Amino acid sequence: MKINRAGSGPSSWAPAEQFTGTVRRDPLIGSEAPGRVNAGLVTFEPGARTAWHTHPAGQILIVTAGRGWVQSEGQPRQEVAPGDSIWFPAGERHWHGATATTAMTHIAVTEYVDGSAVTWEDHVSDGDYAAG
């Protein structure tokens, strides 16, 4: 058994190439082989969001604080709140982030496939973010 104590790993700022606005990532825990799952805490300031992206084995989000927006391509944007859980199927193009006015924190649970857990695409424009 392995216990990762809260705060034992350093926080990091998410890179501007893949995110818009201020996004902080705090590591939680990752499995050891043959497991391939990773869980991390991600905090988005108001207006902050991921770029469009896909996950090779899908992704689970568990909202823990604030108010967020999530959107998959071709579907309307949806608001999420603490206690809500979201599943994005493998390969489904999507983004997630805070609402325009309220910060949001979620736990992200993602599996690696051949060493990769995400494929990044273009940023979510201000217009697309606002329009949902």
Interacting residues toward Mn ion by CB under 5 A: 59
Nearest-approach distance from CB 95 to Mn ion, in angstroms: 7
Residue 107: CA count within 13 A, CB half-sphere: 13
- Our CB check for Mn ion shows the closer of 66 and 106 to be 106
Nearest-approach distance from CB 5 to Mn ion, in angstroms: 26
Nearest-approach distance from CB 88 to Mn ion, in angstroms: 6
Beta strands in 45-103 (DSSP E): 49-50, 53-54, 59-66, 68-72, 78-80, 85-88, 94-98
Residue nearest to Mn ion (CB): 59
Count of CB atoms situated within 10 Å of the CB of 70: 23
- Our CB check for Mn ion shows the closer of 34 and 74 to be 74
